[in-house]
Amino acid sequence: MKIYILEDDIDQSDLYSFWLDEYDCTVFNKARDLIKKIPFEVPDALLVDWNLPIVDGLDFLHWLKGSRYENIPVIFMTSRSTESDIVTALTDGADDYIIKPASEAIVKARIKAVTRRLQSNDQTKQKTFTFDPYKFHHNVNCVSFKNVKVTLTNKEYELAMYFFNNEGLLISRDQLLESIWVQSSNINTRTVDTHISRLRKKLLLDGTHDWKLISIYHKGYKIINLKNTTL
pLDDT tens, residue by residue, 29-75: 999 899 888 888 889 899 999 999 889 999 999 989 888 788 889 99
Nearest to 3 by CA among 32, 38, 33: 38
Give the whole-angstrom CA distance, residue 229 versus residue 164. 14
What phi and psi, each to the nearest 5 degrees, are found at residue 92? Answer: -80, 0
Do 2-124 and 127-225 come out as alike in CATH topology?
no
**Average pLDDT of the chain, as a whole number:** 86
pLDDT tens digits, residue range 74-92?
999 999 999 999 999 999 9
DSSP state of 124: G
Under a CB-based contact definition with an 8 Å cutoff, are residues 30 and 52 in contact?
Answer: yes
User: What are the boundaries of each domain within the chain?
Assistant: 2-124, 127-225
Q: CA 15, 110, 41: angle at the middle one, nearest 5?
A: 70
pTM of the predicted model as reported, rounded to 2 decimal places: 0.57
Under a CB-based contact definition with an 8 Å cutoff, are residues 6 and 31 in contact?
Answer: yes
Domain 2-124 falls under CATH 1.20.140.10: no
Q: Strand 148-151 vs strand 142-145: parallel, antiparallel, or unpaired?
A: antiparallel
Q: Strand 74-78 vs strand 45-48: parallel, antiparallel, or unpaired?
A: parallel
User: What percent of the chain stands above pLDDT 90?
Assistant: 48
Q: Is the pLDDT of residue 186 over 50?
A: yes
Q: What is the CATH number of domain 127-225?
A: 1.10.10.10
Q: Is the pLDDT of residue 124 over 50?
A: no
Give the whole-angstrom CA distance, residue 15 versus residue 104. 9
Under a CB-based contact definition with an 8 Å cutoff, are residues 32 and 51 in contact?
Answer: no
